[in-house]
Structure 1
Amino acid sequence: MHRSTTRIPRALAAAAVPVILVTAGCSSGDDGGDSGKPGSAAPSTESSEPQVEPAKFAKLPDPCAALAKDSIKDLVPGAKSTAGKAGKSADTSQRSSCSWDGLDGYQWRWLDVSYQRYDSDPAVGSGADRAAEYYGKQVNAAEAAGGAKGMKTSAPSGVGQKAAAFTYETTEDKQDYRKQTVVSLQENVVVTVNYHGAGFQGTDQPKSADLLKDAEKATKEALAAVK
């Protein structure tokens, strides 16, 4: 009898342990689950995604309509069509171009207007910053033009937020060409204008200063078309 009496309290004690553990678990769950109690942490509503300035320009103009018809006639005498030839592009809202060429007697001219636009993206930066980076690349490319002779650079004023102009000559198939490139930046858009001229059959070559003046005029007009 003495031995069986000893076992009963031990059995009761063992049975009581789970009850205590369950009670403690419920109490802990109630305290942690009540987000309304003082001292409880409220969920954060702040976004961890970095913010960037919205891009100013959301689209590009039709490059073949960016310059007035009278401007095309003046810049490219003898052009077969003032409508121009659109360049290929997978997305014309981001990148587009148009070119014209004409022969007036023995005077030849070629004009190309190219647009590049950037959107703002938190992952890669603002449209303006991305455009500024591309502007730098275009400037470097123009400065390193293949076969260029007598390269001269300048910084035209009143052409976008900033601009760089390049004047040089090339000789191709024994023919001399006078070439001008103007690269300009306006917010999240970069405009690049290439304007080439030549006098065939031994006629006088066009003056580089005149060609550059015309290239800057075309650039200003192309920039004005961006809205």
Structure 2
Amino acid sequence: MSEGTMQRAAQSDQRDLGVPPTPSRQWGRTKRTYRVLLGAAAVPLMLVATACSSDSGSSSDDNAAGAGKSSESSASVSPSPTVQAAAYKSLPDACDTLSKGTLGDLVPKASKSGKQGKSDDVATRGSCSWSSLDNNGVKGSQFRWLNVSLLRFDSDVTRGEGDKLAQEYYDKQVQDAQSVDGAKNAKTEPVTGTGDQATLVRYDLKKKEGSFKQQTLVTRVENVVVTLDYNGAGLAGEKTPSADSLAKLVKSAAKEAVASVTKANASGGSTGTTASPSPSKSASKSASPSKSASSKS
């Protein structure tokens, strides 16, 4: 038996008897095991690095997408709508629009103070009326009645500029004065030198008390409409007043009323601004149409 054969036989006997292998063979297996462990440990490190790289890209993409959405959202927001602000912000007291001298000419026997009309917002609407009865005994009496109404419109982003809203109401007031039931000999004429525009509507109205001469003068100054209803009658045998004389008086009074509106806003004036919903929505109703004024007389 050769030496190599004897060595393999001895090693085989050692395995059979549970004797540990020789150091050289054990070191060979240990080196292989170490290499396997190193390889196994490298795999998780590679997975962790790959995951971090993937997360970093995703986060960057998300941030870019978020920035894009934010930019798109900002670009889609339109500026707040604006409208030219109304020129006049207040109204004078309707009972103070005419001087004592003017009232003495139009309603000579009226009480010292007029009758204030009801208003839910004195900043946008107001009215005042005076009545006069000059009793001449058996000859009869002269009756006069005057009403001044003021209506102011604010600018509103949904409804438009104040002066345009006032223009619409001005037109309506003139139309109402022209369509009074029972009116006879109606005439309409423009009035110059009073506000931005003015119209006088004249007609005769027969009532049980007598024949009335009605004068309705509507004028607009900026975003405010002033309406003066003035009528006169000769009662109980007194002669009917002259329509021309009444028209002259009411034209003079209208100029004075417009001047009162301008004076009340002397420190006003404004430029275009963002307008809030106007409080004058409730004021868009007719303030004191000539139809009702005639019926009161």
TM-score where L is the length of structure 2 = 0.65
1:198 paired residue number: 233
1:161–1:198 Cα change, 3 Å: same
Residue ranges of structure 2 left out of the alignment (5+ in a row): 1-39, 136-140, 266-297
Check conservation: 2:198, 2:217, Cα contact below 8 A.
Answer: yes
- Aligned pair partner of 1:210 in 232, 235, 245: 245
Q: Which of the two has greater strand per residue?
A: 1
Check conservation: 1:72, 1:82, Cα contact below 8 A.
Answer: no
- How far did 1:45 drift? 10
Q: Which of the two has greater helix per residue?
A: 2
| Separation of aligned partners in 1, 2:187 and 2:232 | 16
RMSD after superposition: 2.6
- Aligned pair partner of 1:137 in 172, 178, 192: 172
1:93 paired residue number: 123
Decide which structure has the larger Cα Rg and report it: 2
1:151 paired residue number: 186
| Separation of aligned partners in 2, 1:174 and 1:107 | 11
Residue ranges of structure 1 left out of the alignment (5+ in a row): 1-7
| Separation of aligned partners in 1, 2:117 and 2:51 | 79
| Separation of aligned partners in 2, 1:140 and 1:170 | 17
- Aligned pair partner of 1:172 in 201, 207, 210: 207
Give secondary structure in 2 for the equivalent of 1:114.
strand
**Aligned sequence identity (%):** 40
Give 4+ residue runs of structure 1 displaced > 4 Å after superposition: 15-21, 44-47
| Separation of aligned partners in 2, 1:225 and 1:82 | 19
TM-score where L is the length of structure 1 = 0.84
- How far did 1:30 drift? 3.0
- How far did 1:82 drift? 2.6
- How far did 1:124 drift? 1.0
| Separation of aligned partners in 2, 1:44 and 1:92 | 43
For these two proteins, the number of residue pairs brought into alignment is 211
* Counterpart check, 1:76 vs 2:107: yes
Code of the aligned partner of 1:113:
V
Q: CA-to-partner distance for each residue in 1:183-218, whole Å, 9 max, x for gaps?
A: 001100000000010011111110001101111111
1:47–1:67 Cα change, 3 Å: farther
1:194–1:50 Cα change, 3 Å: same
* Counterpart check, 1:27 vs 2:60: yes
